[in-house]
Amino acid sequence: MSRQSVPRVFSRSGTGFAVLAAALLALTACGGPSGTPGAKTYTIAFISQGTSNSWAAQLDAVARKAAKADGVKLVYFNGQGDATKQLPEIDTAIAQKPDAIVLVPLGGAADTGPVERAMSQNIKVILCDSTITSQNYTSLVTPHAETAAVPLAQWLADKMNHQGNLLYIGGLPGNTTTITYDQGFNSVMQKYPNIHIINGGNANYSISTAKQLAATAIASGKTFTGAWGVGGEAVTGLMQALIDAKVSPAPPIGGAAATNGILRLAIENKMEVASLQFPPTSSQVCIDTAFKAVKGETVPKSVNISELPQYGPILPPLDKYYKPQFSDDMYVGTDSVLTVDELKALNLVK
């Protein structure tokens, strides 16, 4: 660079140039993804479950925070809560040639092809919360039935004295999380032949559907000594149906992820509910795993998030877990990774 081309402010003195150079060097040193000068900024495509429910919204918020902390560029793809809508998003993401893809699969079988295409193009693929029908991925971050659903199902079976009618409200058919929870539930219940499972139908992760199914089952006149719902929505619908039908005492209920609302309903109506502290913070583990993978570090093929300290069964008494300052939609434990301000931005603070 000739001296004439140097901006005037710097041409008067070499001091300004030196300051700029030092500042640039400092910025490079601090802003790199791993703190290494000149390090590459990695791009991670986050193909989410999408704008479908509060779980997904919290999962997305945690993913964005984790990406910011790791210094990676996160490109967001919206699965819109539908496997068929998510598929083209995966293909679009692959076309952008990111360093890694973090995918929350909505259709285990449907997503297998695109994931294998991504792997063949040397894109690291981290499966988050749910799996596909192939082993051809980089890492799977998900709960395991043994550590997630089994303790809850065992608690419920014990509460039922291993006998009686159990009202079951299912999740979303084909969804791998539903399958995982069903496996855990069935592995326990098959030990107790005197527990008769009354299948109330699939709620498809909808509170209103769960309520309608449960209300119908309750109105049939059968006596239930226990109830099980796959997912927070199913459990909430079950509880609302029992409350509105004035079933007293309400049978013990087991189910999946605990929300603040489930705890509130249980405490206010003196119901016994066992749920799982299963905050949507798995996206943090997923992003961190993807970051390690793109840096060339070895990552485990399978990460069992239900063994992490943020996860675990929530059994009565529930008062110690309920946080009245947060809204019903907050999944128990989310406040361990998001600050109050971040929760407020998500409408999760009252």
Question: What residues make contact with other proteins under the rule CB under 8 A?
Answer: 51-54, 56-58, 60, 170, 173, 198-202, 204, 206-209, 211-213, 215-221, 233, 236-237, 240, 243-245, 261, 327-329, 345-348, 350
Q: Structure tokens of 170? A: 């299912």
Q: Taking the complex as a whole, how short is the minimal distance between the CB of residue 298 and other proteins, in angstroms?
A: 35
| CA dist 36 → 68, 176, 184 (Å) | 16, 39, 45
Q: Taking the complex as a whole, how short is the minimal distance between the CB of residue 4 and other proteins, in angstroms?
A: 53
For 160, list phi and psi in degrees, rounded to 5.
-85, 5
What residues have CB less than 8 Å from 69, skipping those under 6 apart? none
On whether the CB atoms of residues 61 and 49 are closer than 8 A, the answer is no
Q: Taking the complex as a whole, how short is the minimal distance between the CB of residue 114 and other proteins, in angstroms?
A: 24
Q: Taking the complex as a whole, how short is the minimal distance between the CB of residue 240 and other proteins, in angstroms?
A: 5
Nearer to other proteins by Cβ, of 40 and 344: the residue is: 344
Q: Taking the complex as a whole, how short is the minimal distance between the CB of residue 187 and other proteins, in angstroms?
A: 18
Nearer to other proteins by Cβ, of 129 and 233: the residue is: 233
Nearer to other proteins by Cβ, of 137 and 224: the residue is: 224
What residues have CB less than 8 Å from 290, skipping those under 6 apart? 44, 72, 100, 101, 102, 124, 126, 138
Nearer to other proteins by Cβ, of 200 and 313: the residue is: 200
Alpha helices by DSSP H, listed for 100-144, are: 112-120
Can you state the angle between helices 83-95 and 112-120, rounded to 10 degrees? 10
Task: List the end-to-end C-alpha distance of the chain, in Å, as a whole number.
Answer: 59
Q: Taking the complex as a whole, how short is the minimal distance between the CB of residue 55 and other proteins, in angstroms?
A: 9
Nearer to other proteins by Cβ, of 20 and 340: the residue is: 340
**CA triple 316-210-106, angle to 5 deg:** 95
Nearer to other proteins by Cβ, of 140 and 207: the residue is: 207
| CA dist 141 → 31, 94, 125, 184, 273 (Å) | 28, 20, 11, 17, 27
Nearer to other proteins by Cβ, of 58 and 138: the residue is: 58
Q: Taking the complex as a whole, how short is the minimal distance between the CB of residue 268 and other proteins, in angstroms?
A: 12
What residues have CB less than 8 Å from 128, skipping those under 6 apart? 59, 102, 103, 104, 105, 141, 142, 282, 283, 286
Nearer to other proteins by Cβ, of 235 and 303: the residue is: 235
Measured between alpha carbons, how far is 58 from 335 in angstroms, rounded to an integer? 10
Q: Taking the complex as a whole, how short is the minimal distance between the CB of residue 120 and other proteins, in angstroms?
A: 33
Handedness of CA 335, 341, 342, 348 (dihedral sign): positive
